[in-house]
């Protein structure tokens, strides 16, 4: 598994000139960073000032915290407009956890959001949720399974995966990581595991792994094959 962090305005003090240091974050062992990008119709401050800074340092993901102040489709439109010019390397993400003013038909709202984002960004989005929240407001419809699951489940040896999923892609396992260690001003930070190695992460991000240079034996064999085409023989 690979370690990574997720951040928002809580990780940076607006009253100080310093910003999140992604080189420090990477040196501390982070393999990816996920940003809160939007909520309702406003953009998170750290996303605005630090999204571009992380580019090329760590693979980035962006999420919308789906609240219930306005229809989900309006939030989807706002989110797409916020990230469409640079959507990051990880799939776009919807944070499905808000308990304030939860309406009826929450899965319908979530479906409206996620299908709009998929159509306009061109990638299959990921769903962030917690087991207890999904039990209460989600459902077991098999259609959800094609969206990767980012599960929040603390103080457990392994996360509980709600149906219809049978496996998780990302696991937020704590909210009390060492923020200073990872280049943030906040003392605490969310830490996550990716369920795979570097090749799987690169594939999810659309990053091509560097090609391994051929060995001397492979070079000789290649020359031999070329020679055979021209009637050459090796001594």
User: Would you say residue 229 has pLDDT above 60?
Assistant: no
Q: How far apart are CA 229 and CA 196, in angstroms?
A: 42
pLDDT at 222: 64
Domains of the chain in start order, with CATH, are 2-229 (3.20.20.80)
- pLDDT score of 231: 58
Higher pLDDT residue, 210 or 79?
79
Give the pLDDT confidence score for residue 215 in this predicted structure: 73
Confidence band of 45 (pLDDT split at 50, 70, 90)? very high
pLDDT for 181-217, tens place per residue?
Answer: 999 999 999 999 999 999 999 999 998 755 556 677 7
pLDDT at 48: 96
Confidence of residue 163 (pLDDT cuts 50, 70, 90): very high
228 pLDDT tier (thresholds 50, 70, 90): low
């Amino acid at each position: 598994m690979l370690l990574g962090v997720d951040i928002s305005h809580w990780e940076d003090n607006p009253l100080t000139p310093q910003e999140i240091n992604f080189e420090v974050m990477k040196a501390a062992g982070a393999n990816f960073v996920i940003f809160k990008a939007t909520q309702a119709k406003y953009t998170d401050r750290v996303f605005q000032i630090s999204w571009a800074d992380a580019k090329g340092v760590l693979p980035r993901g962006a999420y919308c915290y789906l609240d219930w102040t306005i229809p989900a489709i309006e939030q989807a439109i706002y989110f797409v407009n916020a990230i469409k010019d640079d959507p990051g390397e990880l799939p776009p993400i919807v944070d499905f956890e808000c308990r304030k003013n939860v309406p009826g038909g929450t899965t319908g709202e979530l479906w409206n959001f996620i299908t709009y984002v998929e159509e306009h960004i061109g990638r299959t989005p990921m769903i962030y949720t917690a087991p207890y929240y999904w039990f209460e407001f989600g459902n077991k419809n098999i259609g959800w399974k094609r969206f990767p699951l980012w599960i929040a489940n603390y103080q457990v040896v392994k996360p509980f995966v709600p149906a219809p999923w049978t496996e998780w892609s990302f696991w937020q396992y704590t909210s009390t990581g060492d923020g200073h260690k990872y280049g943030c001003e906040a003392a605490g930070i969310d830490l996550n595991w990716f369920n795979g190695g570097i090749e799987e992460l690169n594939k999810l991000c659309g990053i091509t792994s560097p090609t391994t240079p051929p060995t001397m034996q492979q070079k000789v064999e290649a020359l031999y094959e070329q020679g055979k085409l021209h009637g050459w023989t090796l001594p």
